[in-house]
Every structure is written in C-alpha cells, then in structure tokens.
Amino acid sequence: MAVTKLFGASVKRREDPRLITGRGNFTDHIRLPGTLFMALKRSPHAHARIVRVDVSKARAMPGVVAVYTGQDLVDKLAPVPCAWLIPNSDLKVPSYRALAVDKVRYVGDAVAAVVAENRYVAEDALEAIDVEYEVLPAIVDQEQATQDGAPQLYDDVPNNIAFHWKLHAGDFDSAWNQAEVKLSRRLINHRLIPTAMEPRGALAHYNPGTGDLTIWCTSQNPHVHRLLLSAVTGIPETRIRVIATDVGGGFGSKIPMYSGEMLASAISRDLGRPIKWFESRRENYVATTHGRDHIQYVDLAATREGKVTGIRVKSYANLGAYLSTASPGVPTWLFGLMLCGAYAIPAVHVDVFGVVTNTTPTDAYRGAGRPEATYLLERMMDLLARELGMDPADIRRKNFVPKEQFPYTTATGLQYDSGNYEATLDRALELVNYQQLRREQEELRAQGRYLGIGFSTYVEVCGLAPSAAAGAMGFQGGLWESATVRVHPSGKVSVFTGSNPHGQGEETTFAQIVADELGISIDDVEIVHGDTEMIPFGMGTYGSRSLAVGGTAVIMATRKVKEKATKIAAHLLEVAPEDVTFENGRFFVKGAPDRAKTFQEVAGAAYLAWSMPEGVTPGLEETHFHDPINNTFPFGCHICVAEVDADTGKVSFRKYVAVDDVGNVVNPMIVDGQVHGGIAQGLAQAVYEYAAYDENGQLLTATLMDYAVPKASMLPRFDVDRTVTPTPVNPMGAKGAGETGTIASTPAVANAIIDALSPFGIDHLDIPLTPERIWRAVQERRG
Amino acid sequence: MQITVKVNGVAHTHDVEPRMLLVHFLRDVLNLTGTHIGCDTSQCGACTVLMNGKAVKSCTVFAVQADGAEITTIEGLARDGQLHPVQEGFWEMHGLQCGYCTPGMIMTAVDLLQRIPNPTEEQIRHYLEGNLCRCTGYQNIVRAVQYAAEKMRA
C-alpha cells in the first residue's frame, strides 16, 4: 500500500476528548431505572466441602430482593465454559459452576448471590449469609500438587493433572548426548495479577416482554461473550446484545467468560429486572484470572563455540482451581511453539503439565505464554554466555536466524514472516553506547558499585492465525476478524469492526487507514466497536491482533467499497471502469482529470440510484471477513542498565533502551505508548509484582496495598526506537505492538540485575528480584 | 442526613446515609460518573476530585464530610468549552490509553501544578504516587504534566 498522508502520522487520538472530560461510556456508568445490585458471597477457604448454606437471615433483610445458592441455579445456568480444548493431551475439564454446589476450590469461589436495592444493602446481606464449611487440606504449589498423596481437587483428575501436552520437534536426545556444553536449570515464572484499572462488572437487562437480554459488560470480545452467554443461559444468540464500548484496560483478563456476567444475566431473566454487578478490587484480585505461574525445568545443549543445538523443557503450569476460557492454550501452544525464540535451534522438546490447585484460575495475561518462553530462553542464553565466557550480545548474534533465511520455518513448525534480528541488536548497542558502558562497569566495580547490563533479543507471535491453525490447536473459534464499511449518502463513513479496543486507540488508527484508502477527511470516518447489535461478528482485541487482523479486514472491506464506487463513477462519467482512476477522494477519467466525480458525489448517486450501471445494486456498503494466511512475528532488542546497591539490595535503573520492529507503523505515538506500558508491566514482573499465596491458599497480595503495581516514581524513562521490516502477511506490512514491551522487558531487567551481581558469583536468581531476595543472595555469598 | 455540597459550581442538597462515600454521592446521587472507582483501599486514585481546591480521594471521604464544601470533578474542569491545560496536555502527549485512571490522574496533576508550577520530572513522578495507571508506564503522563506546566506559566 502506498504510504499516504495519515499512515505513519502521530494523529492525536479521537477517543480522548470524551475520556479527558469524564464522559466515557464505561460499564458502571450505565444507569437503568429499577436496577438491582448483585453481590457475591465468596469462599474464605481455599478448599472445603459446603455442608450448608443458610440464606434465611439475608433473605429477610429489608431491601434484599432475592438470594441464590448454587443449588438454586443448577438448572438455570450451565457451567462456566472452557473454550480451548487442546488435543492429544488427555485434557480433563472439570465442571466449573458459577455458584459452587458441593465444594469450594479457591479463596474467592462464589457460593451465593444476593440481589438488593443497592450495593450497600447487598454487601450487608452477604454478612448475614451463614455458610458451614468442612475445611479440606489445600494445595497451592503445582509441582507438589502432582505428587502422590497431595490433596485432590477432583475425583476424576488424578494427581491434579488436567493435561499433559507434548511437542517433540527435532532430535533432542542426540543433541544432548553429543553436546559439548550442557546447562540445566529450574526456573520459576511466578504468578501475576493483571490489574486492569477498571475492575470487571456487568449490567444485565432481560426484557420478559421480548425475551431480549442486553448486557453491558467489561469485555475484550463482546461477540465471544454473546456466544458463550447464549450457551450457558439457553437464550438464543439472536436475543442477546452485548455492549462494551469503553473498557478500562484488560490485558487478557477481560477475555474469559466469568461467573459474574453469567449470574447477572440468569438472575435478570429470573426476576425480570436489570441487575448490576461490579467487582471490588479485592474481588478482582481473588476472582478475576491471574497470569503466568510456571515451574520450568530446562536443559540446554550447545557447542563450545556457543551454538545452541537443542532445548528441552518440562513445565508445570498452574491452572488454578478451574479451567478458565482459554487457559489450556496459554501455557502450551502459546508457550511451546515459541521456544526457539530468535534463534536457529534445531531440536525442541516440550512437556507441559497443566495442574489444578486451590488458587484463582489463570488465563491469558499480556503476552500470554510468550513471556514465559522468552524469559526462559533469554535467561538461558545469558547462562550459556557466562558458562563460555562470551559476551551476551555475541552469543545472541551467533544463534540468530540470519536475515537471508526469511521466511524461516522453526523446528516447532512456525513460519517466521520476516526479520532482521541483528539490526535491532546493533541499534540498541549503539543507543546504550555498549563498549563505553562495559568499561564503566569495570571502573565502578573497582569502587564497589555494581552496574549491570541486561539483554533481551526476543521474537513474538501476534495476530494468531489462520483459523485452520486455531482448529488444529483445539481453540473453539476462528481467528479471523470482520469489518463492515458503510458509506452514507452524504459520503460520511461508518466502519464497524469486530476488534474491541480498550486503550489501544483503534478509533484513531482504523480511521487513519480508511481515510487514506478513500482519500477523505478523517473527520468523515467513524469507527464503531463493542456492540454486537451493530457489528456482524467479532473475535475481539487480544494477542496484538487488532491492526494486523482487524485492520486488514477494514482495508479489504474499504477496497470492496472502492471497487463498487468505481463502477458507479465510471457509469456517471460514461466511461468503462478500467478508464477511471481514484486518487485523493476523486474518481476521474484517465488522461482527463477534469472529468471527475468526488467520493461524496458517488456515494450520493449510489443511494439515489436513479442511474446505476447494469447489475450494480443501490447503496454503498461492504463487509469483509479476513482470515490471515499466517501470524506475524515482531521482534527486537531491549537493553536494561541497572545498578544494584549490594548493601541494601535496592535496584536503580540507569537506562532502558527498546528497539522494536513491529513492521510498518500506522501511528507512532500510539505504538510508543503501547511499548512504554508493556515495558512497565514486564519490568514490574522482574522486580516488583508477585501474587503470593500462603500454604493454606490465602492470597496474601489481595489488595493494591500488598500487590506492587508500579507507581510513577518506581519506573525509569524508556528510550524507544524502531527498525522497520514489513510483514508480507497483510497489505499494511504491520505486525502488532501490544505485547512486545511485556514480552521483552522481564528478561532484560532480570539479566541486568544478575549481570550486576556477577562479581558475587551469582549467575541466577528467581524473579521477582526484590531488595530482600537480592540482599539475601549477596549476604550468602559474602558469608 | 441532609447535606449541601457545591459541585462544579452548582449547589446540591440531598439526604444521604452517614456511611455513604463521597464518590458514591457524586456518581450515584448526582450522576457525575466521570469520577471512577478502581480500588477499595485508597491506593489507585481513580476517584480523585478537588475538595475546596485540594485533591482528595473521594472514596476516603464520607459525603457528609463534604457538607458545605466545594467540589470540582473532571466534568467541571473545562471552562466555557476550553479544556484545562492539564486535559489538553493529556490529549497532546498521549497521556492516556484506556482512560480509566485519567480523571483522577488529571485532578491530581491540577493540584500539583497549583502547588508547584514548575515541577521537575522527579517531583511529578513523586507527586503522582497516589494515582495508578496500568497502561502508559507513566512516561507520557509525565510529559502531559510538563506540557500543562509550560502552558500555564505562559
């Protein structure tokens, strides 16, 4: 596509005026007369048998309209669905009731729902519900959960193993047997809490007269939620409307189907009244999905020259107490397929055990599987460099897939679309002034100061596709996206997209690409998203897919519009369509630019339809469902420079450089913002955030007081730069930028800190590298 | 209890329960939903408003404590159709993504610039510690505040 005036421009966001004036359309802002508030009674125990639920006192309280227990809803609501049924893994999907019936399996498992005149009364009534529990031993650690004699969550999930997934590509055994260098490590990729600033919630309104259910909810994928709500409530899809216009962040946590939305819908139908439910932050922390949580055993085989010849991983993935919507796919496909990273590794053996424990269910969290793979690889590359006395930059360079080899098929079977990995490394080295930095590191060490330089040369997968691959992976959906481009008689354009941005800015970027395609003002383009009644169908926004997949659907639909408009213009100009050129919003006769019709004139003519070409119907509107031919693979190099105070364990960040390659960029300002936010989350995993449970399954970090979401003062400034290697997968050449920062930054930061600590003989510490952890490690070495 | 609170220049008199939080009064009684709720422990700052000119977290103030006070919410910040320089800064510098923390972040920044008209980056980052943003990594929020500071000094 020709790069025209808006593609590549930092256009200010069109969503901002409403958001900076307090006029966003977030779920909790919607008011309907007669609304009742629903609150959920949640289990304080990680594992217990429900002996008795006495709701009589709560029911009798003034202002309480109804109280439901699990038993009351067994026939009215099917279990919470799991939609990623990975094949060949002996997958077991235990029943996950919106309200627990016989047992509770994590702190936060819901046991009863109160519906009352307002939130204050509903919360009071929760206190009046008396639940008798028979407390059972709990299991939190996923590795221990697989041992004989560990507490069992389900009778039919022996050793708590919900699946065993394997991907054995290449001949690892002979690589290992012949390896000159063998490295083995146990790595922990700990549990995180996504913490979108807007908690989850819903307002469900069932109209008993029409049988329609309208639900406003905090969703990254409204159509998927409509389909799943239909499946669990039995209300036909045609009778459900899901609306999620402004969503206050998601990071994966607003993809799954949850009990709250299901209960609000079922109870609204039961009572014929609108039901509002909105999480408190504490509820969000115990009952909205968590992310990561792997224990990984890694064996790396290499030559003495530093060439990696094979990698073997056995990972225990903590799924939590139940299988959330996409949970089986995240620690398997999204992790295992990416274990070659940016390197030409011929043999990869992965075994993943998905384990149920008495913890909050886990699912996608920004990066979803790829950060787990990238951290593992980038940490191992540093260990290999250390083992061989090589520079960490050199060991990476030695193993990179060379740029001449793209498209490149990995041992795991992915086809990397395009890449130039060395270019990002070179640029990042230049930006940090690497040689000078290493000299300074030496000088500081002589003064007893510990500076570290950490690398991450990552590659990731975005815009998961095609749908046939989704099917082969057991994902119960397609991975295409839809768009409808409706040109109104005035020539103004409404674009209906199945993507559902919640901070990513597609109301702006999609309008940029449509305005370019049609040669009209961006002010004449409206992007509509987040309403199932207005959009054909949408798979939603996650996995950095909106531009690469949703944006391509928009372009293709726009091109269909142009094609039809060209026919109409040709008819009006009394020439053949081949003789018409379309440029800058004008259709004109080739060689006679004065004989022209504007886009607006043609739009008007399409609706007047007084004189249409033969076989062309009135109106100007097209829909396109785009199923990409492949994924896209952004890549880059992040370098973190940090200083560690060996006496206190405190880390201070000196410099952070990110050189990413996300292909062509529609709006650099927005991509920079995505990268900043992504780095912040990944850096936080390396040094701050940690979802901690005690051995009884109590979440110790259940509030924002205890869980260390970084504050402005805890983060450095990020220097962001890019190289551009377009993808051939879509007409824009754009790859996706939503997760690069999160995927890249955790290992860059960890590697910097461990590099700083190398004079103490430390070559690995598990993240998060808190002052305490660092201080203890240093003390141990100092003796 | 009957209270009278002046919100964005308009006096409102209502009967409220003594336990009602100011943020619920603003959102549910006055329908000013621009003030958001992001936590239950006064950490996130999404609910920040100005009370008698100073930033407060409205989830930590009872509505009855605001009796007789003047409150400015995000809805009252723009005057005569003109954005406040801080609002303008957030738009110009891409200081927001999902927009959920934004109203509180803007109100705190307004308070900051009233106290320190020419803050350093460190002072800005320190002052915003009571407001959490999960999307931006704060970098462009800092730039937004710097933009506003410059504009307000001009």
Average pLDDT, chain A: 97
CA distance A420 to A723: 9
Both structure tokens of A386:
């250390």
Q: Where are the beta strands (DSSP E) in A157-266?
A: 161-169, 181-192, 201-207, 212-217, 240-243
Measure CA A421 to chain center.
24
Query: Which of A195, A197, A280 shows the shortest C-beta gap to B46?
Result: A197
- Assess if residue A175 is contained within a domain: no
Q: From the CB of residue A436, how many other CB atoms can be counted at a distance below 10 Å?
A: 9
A169 has which bridge partners? A348
Hey, is A572 helix, strand or coil? helix
Contact A197 B136 (CB under 8 A): no
- Write the CA distances from A333 to A336, A373, B106, integer angstroms: 5, 11, 41
pLDDT > 90 in chain A, percent? 99
Distance from CA of A208 to the nearest CA of B (A): 26
Query: Which of A198, A281, A718 shows the shortest C-beta gap to B100?
Result: A198
Q: What is the mean pLDDT of residues A512-524?
A: 97
Provide, as residue numbers in chain B, all residues whose Cβ is less than 8 Å from the Cβ of A669: 94
CA distance A427 to A322: 45
Whether pLDDT at A608 is above 70:
yes
**Amino acid occupying residue B68:** G
Q: Which residues, other chains included, contact A333 with Cβ-Cβ below 8 Å and sequence gap of 6+? A: A86, A369, A473
Residues A117 and A207 in one domain: yes
Both structure tokens of A49:
């048998």
Query: Which of A12, A198, A670 shows the shortest C-beta gap to B92?
Result: A12
Both structure tokens of A133:
């529990």
Measure CA A632 to chain center.
15
Both structure tokens of A610:
């007084």
- Assess if residue A176 is contained within a domain: no
Q: How confident is the model at residue A5 (pLDDT cuts 50, 70, 90)?
A: confident
Whether pLDDT at A4 is above 60:
no
Q: From the CB of residue A283, how many other CB atoms can be counted at a distance below 10 Å?
A: 22
A317 has which bridge partners? A294, A354
CATH number of the domain encompassing residue A368: 3.30.365.10
Peptide bond into A466 cis (omega under 30): yes
Residues A335 and A225 in one domain: no
Domain count, chain A: 3
- What is chain B's alpha carbon radius of gyration, rounded to the nearest angstrom? 15
Q: Which residues, other chains included, contact A592 with Cβ-Cβ below 8 Å and sequence gap of 6+? A: none
Tokens 């009352």, residue? A116
How many residues are recorded in chain A?
A: 783
Both structure tokens of A315:
């990972």
Q: How confident is the model at residue A112 (pLDDT cuts 50, 70, 90)?
A: very high
- Assess if residue A180 is contained within a domain: no
Hey, is A119 helix, strand or coil? helix
Q: DSSP for A155-175, please give it.
A: TTSGGGEEEEEEEEES-HHHH
Hey, is A254 helix, strand or coil? coil
Contact B125 A712 (CB under 8 A): yes
Of the candidates A428, A435, A637, A631, the residue with the CA atom closest to the CA atom of residue A545: A631
Optimal mutation site among B98, B121, B128, interface A, most CBs of chain A within 10 A: B98
Provide, as residue numbers in chain B, all residues whose Cβ is less than 8 Å from the Cβ of A120: 17, 19-20
Q: What is the mean pLDDT of residues A328-355?
A: 98
Cβ atoms A219, A244 nearer than 8 A: yes
Query: Residues A356-374: pLDDT tens digits?
Result: 999 999 999 999 999 999 9
Whether pLDDT at A1 is above 70:
no
Contact A712 B78 (CB under 8 A): no
Tokens 């970098």, residue? B139
Per-residue burial over A616-635, b if 16 or more Cβ lie within 10 Å, else e, is eeeebbbbbbbbbebbbbbb
Element containing residue B151 per DSSP (H, E) = helix B139-153
Contact A16 B133 (CB under 8 A): no
Hey, is A388 helix, strand or coil? helix
Give the nearest chain B residue to A671 (CA atoms): B94
User: Cα-flanking dihedrals φ and ψ of residue B84, to 5°?
Assistant: -65, 145
Give the nearest chain B residue to A246 (CA atoms): B98
CA angle, A431 as apex, A425 and A432 as ends, to 5°? Answer: 95
Cβ atoms A423, A466 nearer than 8 A: no
A vs B, Cβ pairs < 8 A, gives 174
Optimal mutation site among B39, B73, B77, B146, interface A, most CBs of chain A within 10 A: B39
Distance from CA of B91 to the nearest CA of A (A): 6
Structure-model confidence comparison of residues A465 and A104, the more confident one: A104
- Long-range contacts for A78-81 (Cβ within 8 Å, ≥24 apart)? A78/A231, A78/A232, A78/A233, A78/A234, A79/A232, A80/A232, A80/A257, A80/A258, A80/A259, A80/A262, A80/A322, A80/A324, A81/A228, A81/A231, A81/A232, A81/A257, A81/A325
Domain span at residue A545? 16-22+480-626
**Amino acid occupying residue A486:** R
Query: Residues A256-288: pLDDT tens digits?
Result: 999 999 999 999 999 999 999 999 999 999 999
- Write the CA distances from A298 to A278, A769, B66, integer angstroms: 42, 20, 59
Q: Measured on CA atoms in the order A417, A420, A425, A427, is the torsion positive or negative?
A: negative
Contact A281 B38 (CB under 8 A): yes
Distance from CA of B25 to the nearest CA of A (A): 13
Contact A680 B38 (CB under 8 A): no
CA atoms within 13 A on the CB side of B143: 16
Optimal mutation site among A11, A14, A15, A21, interface B, most CBs of chain B within 10 A: A21
Of the candidates A544, A499, A516, A522, the residue with the CA atom closest to the CA atom of residue A737: A544
Contact A31 B31 (CB under 8 A): yes
**pLDDT on residue A576:** 97
**pLDDT on residue A463:** 86
Q: Which residues, other chains included, contact A138 with Cβ-Cβ below 8 Å and sequence gap of 6+? A: A45, A46, A47, A151, A358, A695, A696, A697
**pLDDT on residue A767:** 98
**pLDDT on residue A518:** 96
Cβ atoms A394, A385 nearer than 8 A: yes
Q: What is the mean pLDDT of residues A399-426?
A: 98
Query: Residues B94-128: pLDDT tens digits?
Result: 999 999 999 999 999 999 999 999 999 999 999 99
Optimal mutation site among A197, A288, A509, A669, interface B, most CBs of chain B within 10 A: A197
Query: Which of B31, B90, B97 shows the shortest C-beta gap to A20?
Result: B90
Q: How confident is the model at residue A95 (pLDDT cuts 50, 70, 90)?
A: very high
Residues A348 and A446 in one domain: yes
- Long-range contacts for A445-449 (Cβ within 8 Å, ≥24 apart)? A445/A759, A448/A646, A449/A643
Query: Residues A535-588: pLDDT tens digits?
Result: 999 999 999 999 999 999 999 999 999 999 999 999 999 999 999 999 999 999
Provide, as residue numbers in chain B, all residues whose Cβ is less than 8 Å from the Cβ of A702: none
CA distance A463 to B146: 36
Query: Which of A249, A280, A717 shows the shortest C-beta gap to B40?
Result: A280
Cβ atoms A232, A247 nearer than 8 A: no
Q: DSSP for A501-547, please give it.
A: -SSS-HHHHHHHHHHHHHT--GGGEEEE-SBTTTSS----S-TT-II
Residues A520 and A659 in one domain: no
- Write the CA distances from A592 to A110, A213, A572, A579, A596, integer angstroms: 71, 56, 15, 10, 8
Residues A713 and A768 in one domain: yes
Contact A677 B135 (CB under 8 A): yes
Residues A442 and A360 in one domain: yes
Query: Which of B41, B83, B140 shows the shortest C-beta gap to A673?
Result: B140
Cβ atoms B47, B37 nearer than 8 A: yes
Residues A280 and A353 in one domain: no
Give the nearest chain A residue to B105 (CA atoms): A20
Residues A347 and A242 in one domain: no
Contact B98 A704 (CB under 8 A): no
Longest dimension (CA), chain A: 91
Contact B101 A17 (CB under 8 A): no
Q: What is the mean pLDDT of residues A485-512?
A: 97
- Assess if residue A159 is contained within a domain: no
Residues A346 and A460 in one domain: yes
Q: In what order do the strands lie in the sheet with A130-135?
A: A103-104, A48-54, A130-135
ipTM greater than cut 0.85? yes
Whether pLDDT at A389 is above 70:
yes
Optimal mutation site among B41, B123, B134, interface A, most CBs of chain A within 10 A: B134
CA distance A621 to B118: 52
- Assess if residue A141 is contained within a domain: no
Whether pLDDT at A2 is above 80:
no
Q: Which residues, other chains included, contact B110 with Cβ-Cβ below 8 Å and sequence gap of 6+? A: B50, B55, B77, B84, B86
Helices (H), A105-141: 119-128
Both structure tokens of A252:
């994966």
- Assess if residue A473 is contained within a domain: no
Of the candidates A593, A591, A611, the residue with the CA atom closest to the CA atom of residue A602: A611
Contact B20 A13 (CB under 8 A): no
- Assess if residue A163 is contained within a domain: no
Domain architecture of chain B: domains with CATH: 2-76 (3.10.20.30), 85-153 (1.10.150.120)
Of the candidates B139, B66, B48, B52, the residue with the CA atom closest to the CA atom of residue A22: B48
Whether pLDDT at A3 is above 60:
no
Q: What is the mean pLDDT of residues A475-484?
A: 95
Of the candidates A341, A248, A314, the residue with the CA atom closest to the CA atom of residue A743: A341
Residues A123 and A63 in one domain: yes
Residues A616 and A650 in one domain: no
Hey, is A635 helix, strand or coil? strand
Give the nearest chain B residue to A18 (CA atoms): B99
**pLDDT on residue A224:** 97
- Assess if residue A11 is contained within a domain: no
CA atoms within 13 A on the CB side of A662: 29
Of the candidates A372, A459, A384, the residue with the CA atom closest to the CA atom of residue A414: A459
CATH number of the domain encompassing residue A259: 3.90.1170.50
Whether pLDDT at A67 is above 90:
yes
CA distance A338 to A332: 10
Average pLDDT, chain B: 97
Residues A425 and A506 in one domain: no
